[in-house]
Amino acid sequence: MATAREALLDAALAALAHRPWSAVRMADLAAAARVSRQTLYNEFGSKEGLARALVRREADAYLHGVRRLLAAPAPPERNLAAVAEWIVARAATRPVLRALLTGAWDARLPAPRPARSGARPAAVPAQRRADEGPPAPGELVAATVACADERWAAGCELAVRLALSHVVAPVVPYARVAGQGGGGQCEEPESWSPMTPRITSVIETILSVETRSPRKTMP
């Protein structure tokens, strides 16, 4: 059974799918999670505290997923390609994670600012960690690489950066043009679409070379 804290975070994430963070009301979240508003404030301290906790949970869930994929019983290049695929697919459906990975926050999302200096520490240990603020994109990449075996760290970083390049600038599928003679309009590309099998194959080939390169044994 989910704790009150998890239920409130789930309610906040669900609310973001329908309205910007500025329009999300604490009373509505408490009602959706079936807890009192006092419980909400006991857990997070404020709406800003809730925002920090929501962003921190996204970062933690992301790293947990990376560790799970890297632990799969498969060749390292296959696991690293799977990580790249998963990052792109997950970022497509989770705007908060996408902002964490790219640093591109917009007005619809919670503001990821750390708690102000000198503020009283939160009573809830998990909130004290969240109040430190979310990792910057570079820190999140470093934390991702740290999940991999040291032998595959370089390959892991390559996989993550290839995935992020796709998140930032998705590959545009061949556009169909209406009409003849180049006078038609191109269709809108499917932004944040998952990587194609061809892209995955290229990544796996690159990682296969990277993880088996003799250069790794050179000083």
What pLDDT score was predicted for residue 33? 93
Q: Is 198 helix (H, G, I), strand (E, B) or coil?
A: helix
The pLDDT of residue 195 is 55
Q: What is the pLDDT of residue 123?
A: 83
**CA atoms 84, 88, 90, 96: torsion sign:** positive
Is the CB of residue 143 less than 8 Å from the CB of residue 135?
Answer: yes
Q: How confident is the model at residue 34 (pLDDT cuts 50, 70, 90)?
A: very high
> Is pLDDT at 152 greater than 50 in this prediction?
yes
Q: What is the mean pLDDT of residues 176-196?
A: 44
State the average pLDDT over residues 102-108. Answer: 89
pLDDT number for residue 13:
93
| Structure confidence at residue 86 (pLDDT) | 92
Can you say how many angstroms the Cα of residue 161 is from the centroid of all Cα atoms in its chain?
A: 13
Enumerate domains of the chain plus CATH numbers: 4-114+122-172+186-217 (1.10.357.10)
Q: What is the share, in percent, of the chain residues with pLDDT greater than 90? A: 47
The pLDDT of residue 169 is above 50: yes
Q: Which residues of 163-195 are buried (b: 16+ CB within 10 A; e: fewer)?
A: bbebbeebeeeeeeeeeeeeeeeeeeeeeeebb
Residues 63-91 have a mean pLDDT of 91
Q: What is the mean pLDDT of residues 88-110?
A: 91
Local confidence band at 75 (pLDDT 50, 70, 90 cut-offs) = confident
Asked if residue 42 has pLDDT above 90, the reply is: yes
Output the average pLDDT for the chain.
81
